[in-house]
Every structure is written in C-alpha cells, then in structure tokens.
Chains A and B, each alone.
Chain A
Amino acid sequence: MSGPDLSRKRPRPEASSRPTTGAPAPALTEGDKILELIRSRANRGIWSADIKRETNIPQNSVQKQIRMLLGNKLIKEVTDIRYKSRKVYMAAEFEPSDEISGGTWFSGGSLNKEVINDVRKRCKQQIMMLKAATSDMIYKGMKKSDPNIMYTMQQIGDILQSLVIDKEVDEIKSTGKGDFANVPAGKVCYRIVQSSSRTQVGALASIPCGVCPRLRDCTPDGEISPRNCEYYKQWLGAEYF
C-alpha cells in the first residue's frame, strides 16, 4: 500500500545556512562600511568628519566603530601635516602620501631637524671640497660618498635653497676661472660664504630705535621721545636718566 506516511509530523522547513541563489545579500555592518570607505582613500586617508558625512552613520557609532577597527589593527591614525588638529584615518596596509606626511623632511607631523641638518652638512662638505659646484655636482658627490642616500635632485635643491637663505652658501654664476675653474662659465653654482660676511650687524638694528615697535609714535618733544625712552635707558644704563 503507498500513501503518505501519516506517522510523521508535517516536515519542518529546514534552516539552510547558505543563501539560495537570487536571494538578497545581508546588509553591510557599520564597521564594514567605514572600513571600505577608509580603504578607498588609499594613502590619502580620510578625516573622521568626512566619514560621518559620507556614511550617514551617527557620530557615536562612527567613533565606536573606529575604536574597534583601531583595536583590530585594520586601520591606523595618521597626522595630516596640513591640518594637524584633524584626526585622519588610513587603512593599515597603506603608507601616508607625501602630501599628508609632509615628505622626506617630516616625521610624525613635525620637521625632522636632524635629517635636514645632516643633509645640509653633507651639501656644505661637497661645496667646500670643490670650492664651487653646481647642484648636479653636489648631488653626484654626495651619492659617491654615500651610495645609500635616497634623496632626489629636487630635495637637494630645496636644501641648497635653504643654505642660500641662511647665507651659508652663495648662489652665483660661474666665471669659469679661479675657484670656478671646474664649472663652465655662466652656469649657476654654489660657493661657501665667508664667515665675516655672515656676522655683519646692521647699523639700524644695533640701536634701540631700529627694533622699537613704537618708532612711528616717537617724536623729540612728544610723550614717547628719545629723552625719556625706556629702551635707551636699558641700552645705556638707567642711572643717568
């Protein structure tokens, strides 16, 4: 005899762990959304306020999710040199771009003075050896003495510019003779500035009036005058006035 097996209860629908084809995917969690957004910004990173705006997730949730992602080491916090007060987040697998980090001369959001001073010293050593040298000659000299240095010509150019500004080095056109014998005439090159040139004290700067913030208000017979000037008293000795 064939018929339904009435001894059995109505079969329960089986709970399937795999979604069947055609069924909608379950929604991304907030954490996933935020992680995807951060990853999409690659080495530029994203500001926390921008995360909130683009995901429409409430502030408290954003902060909670970021804490979890940081704890799981999926993202990291970096300093944007342009906007130091902002919290910027980046996926752990990326390194900050030069725009964010400030480039070679910045470390942890601050100027790496040790590195800068080291490169300045090396540049000056090259110039002293050659007496007068172009930026190209200086760069090649530095590479020769230390093949491990990773700076570009542009970066060496920036350092040379800072040496010119600080009056440690002169930027001049070569005459092709004397100290400039190694540099073709007319080419821009660099030479060490004599120490006597650097230590000149200006005439106006060496008297109180030269640095006085009230000079424009001062008159011989006025309330502020050289006769009763406090800066002169300090400069010359107060006991006479």
Chain B
Amino acid sequence: MVGVYGKRLAKEIISTHFGDLVAKVCNCLLQNGTLSLHEIVRYTDMPGSHVKNCLLILIQHNCVQAFCTPRKGSTDKTVTLYMAIFDNIINRMRFSKFLSLIKGGELAPKESQTKEGQCKYALLKGILQNGRLTFEQLVERSISKEQQMDQVQEKHQSELRACFNELVRSHYVERCPRPEPFIYTEPEDQPKHTKRRGAKTAVQPLSLEQQAIEAATLAESERFSEIPESSVERAGDGIVNHSPATGDKRKHETLETDLDLLVAIAENEVLWRANFEKLLYCLRTKICAENVRSRLGDDAGVVLEAIMEADTEQKIKATIVIATFDGILNNLAGSMTLDRVRTILDELNCKSATDKLEAIYSLDLNATLEACKNDEIEAVVKARYGDQGYKIFRLLSTKDQLIETDRIAEITFMEKKEAHQMLYKLWRDEFIDIKKVPSQGSGESASISLWRLHRKPFYQTLLDDIFHAALNLTVKISQLVEKQHEILEDDMKNLLKRKFILQLSLLKLDDALMLFHDF
C-alpha cells in the first residue's frame, strides 16, 4: 500500500522527466486507480487528444499498462482501462545505478572498461532513456552516435547483436509485455467464489491490476528469446548446409526464408525494454553483499554475491536463495579454496542438501535484510535521540520481547528516571509500543510498564518518512535547477556542487527505499 508521499514522489519524478501535463495524467491514475480514457479526461479536465498523448508517453516508458475488460452491462463491447505502475515510476530514479551494473561499462573504472562492456552500456542506456525500442532503432541510434561508415555498418550491427543477445541472455533486457491484454471479469451480480469447498484457507482472488500485469507478461521462454542470426550471417560464420539433393535444397531455401523472416520481425518489430526485476535483484545482491562484507569480512561478501548470482530463479521478493555448489564455485572462479568456501557457507547459515547427486545450498536472506534495515533505523534513532535512545532501541530490537522499565535501565546502565523519560519519547514518536500490566500487591492505580518494538507498523511509518525525505530532496534539486538560470557564472560551480550533494544523497536514500519497499 503506497502512502501519500510515495504518490507525490512518483508525480514529481514524472513531472521532472516529462513535464506537468504528463504528470497530471499520471497523478490522476495514481490517486484514483485504474481508469478509462473518458474518466481520465473528466478528472483532469484536459482535451482528449492531450490525454492520449500523455498516456502514450507513459506507456512507452513502462509507467502505465493498458488492458481491456468487458464493458459494464454489455457482453460484446469492451473498454480499455489504464493503470499506473508505481514501481516502474520509482525505478526511473535508479537508471544510473542500473547502468553501473554493466561490467566493463562507462561507469566502471577506466582500467577495467572493455569494448563489449561499453557496447552493452550504450545499448542499455538507449533502452532506459527511450523506454522501449526495437533492435533496429538501437542500431540506428548507435550508428548515428558513432557516425559509422556504410561499409562497416554490417560488422557493427553483428557486434551489436552479440552484445544485445548477451544482455537478453543475462535477463537485463526483455521483450515488452502484451500491450492490451483482455481480462475477463465476472459479472457483478454473480457471487465471487473465493473459497473452494473443503479448503482450509480462502483463496485470495487477484485484483484487476494484478490480473492485468499477469496477463500482459509473456512466458519466460518468449520474454528472453534472443535475436537469431540471419542466414547470410550464419553462412558467413561457416554454418553451411551441405545438401546435395534438389528437393532438400528447396526445403533449405524455405527454411532460410523463414529464418530471415523471424530475424526481421525480431529486429524491426519486437519492442525491448529493461527488465527491472533482474536489475533490482542485482542491486539487492550488492546491498546484501556490502552488509555481509562489513559484518563478516570481504570473503563472506564475495561468497554471498556468488550464491545470489548462481540462483536460477532470481526473484526480487524471494528471501530464500538456492544455488548449486558448482554454480557458486563457477562464480568464484577459483578465488578461494573449497574448504574456505564451505566454512563461509556455514558462517552464512546456509543449509545444504543433495539433489540428483548435486550439492545444493539454500540461504535465507531474511537475517541479512533485517540487519540492513536495522542499521538504517538505528542510525535514525541515534541521530534523533542520542546514545541513550540508541541503546534502549538496540536492546528492544535485539531482544524482541516485552521488557520492564527497571530491567531496561539495568541492562543499559542508565538511571531509572532517564530510562523512563527516553522510553516515553520513543513511544510518543511511534518507535516502540507500551503495555501496562497491573502491579501485584500494590494499590489499584499502580501498574508496571512493559516495552516492545513492533516491527511491521513501525516499518510502514519509516517507509512513509523515507518517501517524504526523497520527495523533499527531489523538490530541492528542482529548485536548484531553476536557480541555475538566474545566478552568475561565478556562483555556478558552487551551485552545481550543492546539486551534486543532493543527488548523491537521493541515490543513497534510494538504497533505504529499496530495502523497505522493493526487497
């Protein structure tokens, strides 16, 4: 459930990237949910053609998904509805982080940049900047940038295809989902069957939006289907069919034509976009590895990265990561001995099992993710309440149970009165919970205060604060951008320096946002 500030941040991002009109349409969908074109026009009070153009831009950039449903009260007519995809809007803040994932790309250290890395970087950058492109459009973009001469274009295109297919194989890029899937909705007068007979638990029906996303998503094999080589290129690569008979030769020519058709479709018609799920998974790997590195050492961080990269599923919300021992060793590329790897896997509390004679390790990321979240929260508590507040919060966070005031004062070596005051401050600001129990043997009014940290409601409050802070930073950056046109050249350097500080702070805050919202 996205709060007020999350939606405002999304609106601000769209406004910065595409202007106020597009932001108005996007905000209408964020505030009112899924709407038809007619409803959007009514809510925004904008001309229909403007709304359409805005929707096209939002769809192009994967911020809106369209789908069809039967029109109410009609059996044969349909209506197209539009829904905002909040997560994809927020992902627009992360493009530089996504690009930094490309090894050997432009954001890598100069000495480790490679031609292939730079090529992949340029392709991914083009896709992120433009939302969705065909391969042909990517090639044109690349050629116009590098001003390639005609005679080398073919070779360049072949190299680009190889790099592009590598991106698809790694799942950084995917084929775009279906543009307007049809969702059948049950008529309102029929009761919804949410409970199967004999089932112990009710089956939760998917919301309309969830159904739309599911229906739009292509099957895995199609989603990451690479661009094949044309028959000419295969011949050039030495893949020649030595078919002697005439009938076979005709069949071979037909097959070649089919293949060329497939290549033409894949290059000119299929739209490609960035696969945010994979990119976020890679960012999650980085953040978890960094946390483990700081707690358990460099080797542990490297092994954790190897495990996460070896997981074949790589789902962003999955907290259990499963990898084969061979897969882990492949990713480590011989940088550690087997014994050292096994010791670290034990330290990370990985569970081992055997499947078809293959050793498999599973890692529960919950502990690491909780440690990352705790670091973030404890830093806020320390900054707001000082060392005393921090100690009390740490105690309640590590114990995860009800503790009496006196005992808290004892363990934290604090005066009882000070401990009491600090506990009330933390409770007033909704960091901790209180429970009063009657005191045995005392008067009616006497009671004992017990304290506890309740994580779930607290995480939601903190997430709202993070969205709010991110919105504030975005607004501040916009303010500095406006000032750029007003100030003198002498002051420009200082202004840009401050803008850079704000942008870096926003990138860092976004890590916290991913921890509490996306992971």
Binding site for B on A (CB under 8 A): 81-82, 105, 111, 116, 158, 161-162, 164-167, 170-171, 175, 177-178, 193-194, 196-197, 200-207, 209-211, 215, 218, 220, 225-227, 229, 232, 236-237, 240
Q: How distant is the Cα of A54 from the Cα of B512 in the complex, in angstroms?
A: 61
Q: A111-B413, A205-B379, A211-B380 are in contact. Are A220 and B498 (CB under 8 A)?
A: no
Nearest-Cβ distance from residue A206 to partner chain B, whole angstroms: 7
Whether A218 lies near B380 (C-beta < 8 A) is no
Mask: chain B, 477-489; 1 = CB below 8 Å from A; 0 = not: 0011001000100
19 other A-B residue contacts (CB within 8 Å) besides A177-B346, A207-B473: A81-B416, A158-B411, A162-B411, A165-B411, A170-B295, A200-B379, A203-B508, A204-B376, A204-B469, A204-B512, A206-B505, A210-B384, A210-B469, A211-B383, A215-B468, A220-B12, A220-B475, A236-B501, A240-B487
Chain A residues with CB under 8 Å of B469's CB are 204, 207, 209-210, 215
Nearest Cβ on chain B to A131's Cβ, whole angstroms: 12
A170 to B295, CA, bound (A): 9
> Would B379 and A201 count as touching, CB distance under 8 A?
yes
CA A116 to CA B391, docked complex, whole Å: 16
Pick the contact of B413 from A116, A178, A205, A209 — CB < 8 Å? A116
Q: CA separation between A225 and B398, bound complex, in Å?
A: 36
Task: Let me know if A178 and B483 touch, CB within 8 A.
Answer: no
In angstroms, how far is the closest chain A Cβ from the Cβ of B95? 19
User: Interface on B for A, CB 8 Å cutoff?
Assistant: 8, 12, 293-297, 343, 346-347, 375-380, 382-384, 391, 394-395, 398, 410-413, 415-416, 462, 465-466, 468-469, 471-473, 475-476, 479-480, 483, 487, 491, 494-495, 498, 501-502, 505, 508-512
Closest to B377 in A: A202
Taking a contact as CB atoms under 8 Å apart, the answer to whether A209 and B382 are in contact is no
Give bound CA distance, A162 to B414, whole Å: 11
> Inside 8 A of A225's CB, which chain B residues have their CB?
475
Decide: A197 near B509, CB < 8 A? Known: A202-B380, A210-B380: no
CA distance A23 to B343 in the complex (A): 89
Query: Which residues on B sit within 8 Å (CB–CB) of A218?
Result: 468, 472
Nearest CB to that of A202 among chain B residues?
Answer: B379
B512 touches A165 (CB 8 A): no
Q: Considering the complex, give the chain B residue whose CB is closest to the CB of A165.
A: B394
B511–A203 touching, CB < 8 Å: yes
Whether A226 contacts B413 by the Cβ 8 Å rule is no
Per the bound structure, the CA–CA distance linking A8 and B380 in Å amounts to 103
- Give the distance in Å from the alpha carbon of A232 to the alpha carbon of B375 in the complex: 24
Let me know if B413 and A200 touch, CB within 8 A: no
How many Å lie between the Cα of A129 and that of B234 in the bound state? Answer: 65
Sample 17 A-B pairs with CB under 8 A, ordered by A number. Answer: A111-B413, A116-B413, A165-B394, A178-B343, A194-B294, A200-B294, A202-B379, A203-B509, A203-B511, A205-B379, A206-B505, A210-B469, A226-B472, A226-B475, A227-B479, A229-B472, A240-B494
Residues in B with CB closer than 8 Å to A82 are 416
Please give the distance in Å from B396's CB to the nearest CB on chain A. Answer: 10
Min CB distance B145 to A, Å, is 35
Please judge, given known A-B contacts A164-B398, A218-B468, A236-B501, whether A204 and B380 are in contact too, CB under 8 Å.
yes
Asked whether, in the complex, the Cβ of B483 is within 8 Å of the Cβ of A205, the reply is: no
Cα(A209)–Cα(B466), bound, Å: 9
Q: Which residue, of B294, B394, B494, B511, has the highest number of chain A Cβ atoms within 10 A? A: B294
Does the CB pair A210–B383 fall under 8 Å? Answer: yes
CA distance A194 to B296 in the complex (A): 8
A220→B471 contact, CB < 8 A: yes
Q: Given the complex of chains A and B, what is the CA–CA distance between A207 and B380 in angstroms?
A: 10
- Distance from A188 Cβ to chain B, minimum over Cβ atoms (Å): 12
The answer to whether B465 and A167 touch across the interface, beta carbons within 8 angstroms, is no
Distance (Å) between the CB of B293 and the closest chain A CB? Answer: 8
Closest to A111 in B: B413
Q: Is the CB of B498 within 8 A of A205?
A: no
Chain B residues whose CB sits within 8 angstroms of the CB of A200 once the complex forms? 294, 375, 379
CB distance from B353 to the nearest CB of A (A): 17
Partner of A209, one of B347, B468, B480, B510: B468
Residues of A within 8 A of B416 (CB): 81-82
> Chain A residues with Cβ under 8 A from B347's Cβ?
175, 178
Which residues from chain B contact A220 at a C-beta distance below 8 Å?
8, 12, 471-472, 475
Cross-interface CB contact of B476 among A204, A215, A227, cutoff 8 Å? A227
Complex Cα gap A170–B371 (Å): 12
Task: Report A-chain residues with C-beta under 8 Å of the C-beta of B462.
Answer: 204
**Does A158 contact B471, Cβ atoms closer than 8 Å?**
no
Q: How far is the CB of A6 from chain B (nearest CB, A)?
A: 77
- Choose among A166, A201, A204, A205 the residue with the greatest number of B CB atoms under 10 Å from its CB: A204
